[in-house]
Amino acid sequence: MTYLIIRFATLGNVAMTVPLVASLSKRYPDDRFIIAGKKKLDAMFASMPNVVYREVDNHLNWHGVWQLWKMLRHETNAVIDLQDVPRTRALDFLMRLSGKKVTRVRYGRVRKHLITLFGIKRASLPSEFERYSDAFRRAGLETDYSFEALKVNREAATAVHDTFGDKEGQWVGLAPFAKSRSNMLPYRVTKDIIEQLTQRIDTRVFLFGAGTIECEMLRQWSSVFPRTVSVAGQLSLAEELELMRQLDVMICMDSANQHLSSLVGLRAISVWCATHPIIGFMGWKQRPEDIIQRTDLRCRPCSCHGTNHCRYGNYACRQIEAETIIQRIYE
């Protein structure tokens, strides 16, 4: 039996599928799973022998939907749509016409939207992992929560060792950026965090990020602060994962690096600004006590994924001091 699993959104969204796909790979060794995902993310599935990764353009157009259907219809028995957007619904329709069983995730977008409009409610929503598990269950597949970490990629681990040498002292990762302004700390706070961490001579800080502007900013910070290295744009995804495996802790926003840390069993101190864990995007097996956020604001969460504007214009959710994060690290 061959299953097509569709999830070609952002890096973090695809990373959240990995623990459950890993459990499927282990529980159903005679079945085959095709992941239609974002480009160049196959490193997250490389250790799963019966999982095949197919690169799909993140901005898949209607012609691309038709081509994807023509390419996969003959090697797929069932479809599990973890994306649920108009383009994937069109692909689902074509697959149904071809006689394939299609199961679609239930995201509860209306309820999420109501929470962002009116603020926090008492009950948390199901996590994304629970929603994925439900979709797999309705497709006739049972998942479990046994996943701890990806297998070591020996080639990538060797490359990381050759680049950064043997580990001495404490290695701390810092991923200060996110897609939206409302999900990031002010630059002043980020610089304070780096400065306080590098005051300890036994601590080495690795800066993670992506994008031209981010890479340049991180490069400048690494040239100013001692024992600070920017790896933004320098490593492959497999190498980034293996470097994270060597870290003692990751400091990140509500962003992809929280989920990448989870894939190698790394503890992540996550900072939540406009978004909130109640929506369901907390990292796999991350600890609630490692979440840092403003709990005194009734306007949170104002977005599921972050925005570039604040309804009050003050971005109060970003007003978190560096000392709060530093204290949590050393606790």
Q: Which of 138, 170, 200 is the last residue of a domain?
A: 138
Domain co-membership, 172 together with 58: no
The predicted-structure confidence for 307-323, as pLDDT tens digits, reads as follows 888 888 899 999 999 99
Q: Does 148 reside within a domain? A: no
pTM reported for the whole predicted model: 0.93
Domain co-membership, 320 together with 184: yes
Q: Does 172 reside within a domain? A: yes
For residue 55, list its beta bridge partners. Answer: 37
Q: How confident is the model at residue 211 (pLDDT cuts 50, 70, 90)?
A: confident
Average pLDDT, the chain: 91
Q: What is the pLDDT at residue 116?
A: 85
Is 90 exceeded by the pLDDT of residue 125? no
Task: Determine the average pLDDT of the residues in 170-187.
Answer: 92
Q: Judging by beta carbons within 10 Å of its beta carbon (0-12, 13-18, 19+), is residue 305 exposed, middle or buried?
A: buried
Report the distance separating Cα 274 and Cα 327, nearest Å: 22
Percent over 90 (pLDDT), the chain: 71
Q: What is the pLDDT at residue 138?
A: 97
Residue 141 backbone dihedrals phi, psi, to 5 degrees = -120, 130
Q: What is the pLDDT at residue 119?
A: 66
The predicted-structure confidence for 72-107, as pLDDT tens digits, reads as follows 888 899 999 999 988 889 999 999 999 999 999 999
Domain co-membership, 17 together with 101: yes
Q: Does 40 reside within a domain? A: yes
The predicted-structure confidence for 11-65, as pLDDT tens digits, reads as follows 899 999 999 999 999 999 999 999 988 778 999 999 999 999 988 765 667 777 8
Domain that holds residue 159: 154-330
Task: Determine the average pLDDT of the residues in 242-257.
Answer: 96
Domain co-membership, 105 together with 223: no
For residue 252, list its beta bridge partners. Answer: 175, 270
Domain co-membership, 250 together with 274: yes
Q: What is the pLDDT at residue 306?
A: 84
Domain co-membership, 224 together with 91: no
Q: What is the pLDDT at residue 110?
A: 86
Domain co-membership, 209 together with 123: no
Is 90 exceeded by the pLDDT of residue 210? no
The predicted-structure confidence for 139-166, as pLDDT tens digits, reads as follows 999 999 999 999 999 999 999 999 999 9
Q: What is the pLDDT at residue 129?
A: 96
Q: What is the pLDDT at residue 47?
A: 93
Name the token pair of 191: 């610089």
Q: What is the pLDDT at residue 299?
A: 86
Helix, strand or coil for residue 271? strand
Domain co-membership, 179 together with 255: yes
* Under 8 Å between Cβ of 233 and 118: no
Q: How confident is the model at residue 122 (pLDDT cuts 50, 70, 90)?
A: low
Residue of 19 and 303 predicted with greater confidence: 19
Q: Does 149 reside within a domain? A: no
Domain co-membership, 179 together with 97: no
Identify the CATH number of the domain in which residue 260 sits.
Answer: 3.40.50.2000
Is 90 exceeded by the pLDDT of residue 70? no
Domain co-membership, 179 together with 96: no
Report the distance separating Cα 17 and Cα 260, nearest Å: 11
Q: Which of 138, 166, 190 is the last residue of a domain?
A: 138
What single DSSP character describes residue 298? T
Is 90 exceeded by the pLDDT of residue 69? no
Q: What is the pLDDT at residue 120?
A: 63
Number of domains in the chain: 2
Sign of CA dihedral 267, 273, 275, 277: positive
Domain co-membership, 209 together with 291: yes
Name the token pair of 214: 């981010």
* Under 8 Å between Cβ of 272 and 202: no
Q: Does 45 reside within a domain? A: yes
Domain co-membership, 253 together with 121: no
Lay out the sheet containing 268-272: strands in order across: 228-230, 203-207, 170-175, 249-253, 268-272, 291-293
Q: Does 84 reside within a domain? A: yes
Is 90 exceeded by the pLDDT of residue 191? yes
Q: How confident is the model at residue 123 (pLDDT cuts 50, 70, 90)?
A: low
